[in-house]
Chains A and B, each alone.
Chain A
Amino acid sequence: MKKFELKGMKFLVLVIVSYIILFFVDYNNALVSIDKFIKIFITLIPIFIFIIILTALINYFLKPKQILKHFGEDSGKMGIFYSLLGGILSHGPMYAWYGMLKDMKSHGLKDGLIVTFLYSRAIKLPLLPLMIDIFGITYTIVINMYIIVFSIIQGKIMDQYMKNASKD
């Protein structure tokens, strides 16, 4: 199968073209979109800085061998635990973390642990009071337990799939 790659610059050009078209078709909403874009970007700057620092620290302190040990094929339960914890504690949008995960993947991070990390991000600690307010405490506890369980299951399935695919 031919590997599909979407280059960042091409995608950026596509988005810029969309905005230009929007300016001609729906000028007012185009301005609001630009305004939202700027606000989101400013909001994300601290998160980006945090992730860049975290990536640098991981690269400095965790050598490829250690990443392989903690998050590689033989990382076992501790690998799952670290991924869950990382996912639950991580802030900001999912896409902000892709760069760091890709970097760790190039040093041996398992696909399954990426999946576990990304899904466990559904547990948002700062939003728990809001969740309890709307759904109640029982629902909040039960659904978050299931999110943890399904984050692990998804990771296991992904690893198994990748293992089978590499055999073919």
Chain B
Amino acid sequence: MPMMISIIGLVGIFQVYITPDMISKLFGYSVLSDILTGTFVGAIANGHGSLSFIIAKGLKAQGVSIYALSTFTLAWVSLGFVQLPAEASMFGVRFTVIRNILAILSTILITYLTIITINMGHL
């Protein structure tokens, strides 16, 4: 329970300092940069999953690439840097490191494969 309260406390601080406006300024430079930024920001940002889609909708209107939107929304719901201490405390540091590396790589690969698959369907 103390760990849960701590994580919620951190989420409270993160939600105040990492605003949707701040996030939107980080995108739109290049595909690679958008993918990396999307993954990283999605992993840091916190809140209900629906919020990631609301931000993504705004970013889409600004012309941000599908790569960025995809990694950002996927990282938002599958990663969470703020909960790393809790995960490490429950399952061990080694498990946490391996799982999060796998999740980051999967998020990037899934984005690429999804877009490639959709583009193949359009051929």
Contact = CB atoms under 8 A, between A and B. Distances in A.
Interface of A: 3-9, 11-12, 14-16, 18-19, 22, 29, 32-37, 40-41, 44, 48, 93-96, 98-99, 101-102, 105, 111, 114-115, 118-119, 121-122, 124, 127, 130-131, 133-135, 138-139, 142-143, 146-147, 150, 153-154, 157-158, 161, 165
Contacts of A5: 89
Contacts of A133: 53, 57
Contacts of A165: 94
The 10 closest A-B pairs by CB, nearest first: A37-B12, A8-B2, A8-B3, A122-B78, A36-B12, A12-B2, A15-B9, A150-B106, A95-B83, A130-B53
Q: Chain B interface secondary structure, helix, strand, loop or mixed?
A: helix
Contacts of B54: 130
A138 B122 CA distance: 11
B34 to A, nearest CB: 15
Q: Chain A interface secondary structure, helix, strand, loop or mixed?
A: helix
Contacts of B17: 29
Interface in B20-74: 49-50, 53-54, 56-57, 60, 66, 69-70, 73-74
Given A4-B93, A6-B89, A34-B12, A158 B98 contact: yes
Interface residues of B, number: 55
A36 B11 contact: yes
Contact of A94 (B6, B60, B80, B109): B80
A139 B122 CA distance: 12
21 contacts: A6-B89, A8-B6, A12-B5, A18-B9, A22-B13, A36-B16, A94-B80, A94-B83, A95-B80, A96-B4, A98-B87, A101-B90, A114-B91, A118-B103, A121-B78, A133-B53, A134-B60, A135-B69, A147-B74, A154-B99, A158-B95
